[in-house]
Amino acid sequence: MQKRAMRNISRTHRALALLTAFVLLPGCGPSEYQPSEEDRVVEAISGIADATATEESFQAAFATSSPAPEDQRLTYNEFSYDASNVVITGETATATVDVISPFTDESIAQVEWTCQREGGVWKLHTAPLPESPP
């Protein structure tokens, strides 16, 4: 009798384990999230500081029609950038960009940047820095 009870408990545990797997596993697969085009523009803008690591990555962040301002590469690395108010018109986009101080985590200036889509990837077209960063 005791063996039979243990076997039934074992079957019950297996059944619960299978049920749990069917309920929980669908949420463990690849994410269904697909970033919007606006999100992709924000990523292109916010990633510019990281792109300053090498001349090649900095150049690659800019559209081919707008060569990166190599003389300002290190200046772009001094700040972080927070894009908002993204407006996409065809293959171009504009965004309001807050230039964030690394010392205070506050915006020191607000500028307008434009992006251009090349080969399905958003790249910077114009990305002016503040006139006189503090």
Indicate the domain borders of the chain: 37-126
Mean pLDDT to the nearest integer, 90-108: 96
Tell me the per-residue pLDDT of 5-49, one tens digit each, with 9 for 90 and over: 444 444 444 434 433 444 344 555 566 889 999 999 999 999 999
Residues near 51 by Cβ (< 8 Å), separated by ≥ 6?
Answer: 57, 58, 60, 61, 76
Average pLDDT over residues 99-118: 95
Could you tell me the pTM of the whole model? 0.73
Distances from the Cα of 83 to the Cα of 14, 15, 86, angstroms = 51, 50, 7
Per DSSP, 23 falls in state H
Q: Does domain 37-126 have CATH number 3.10.450.50?
A: yes
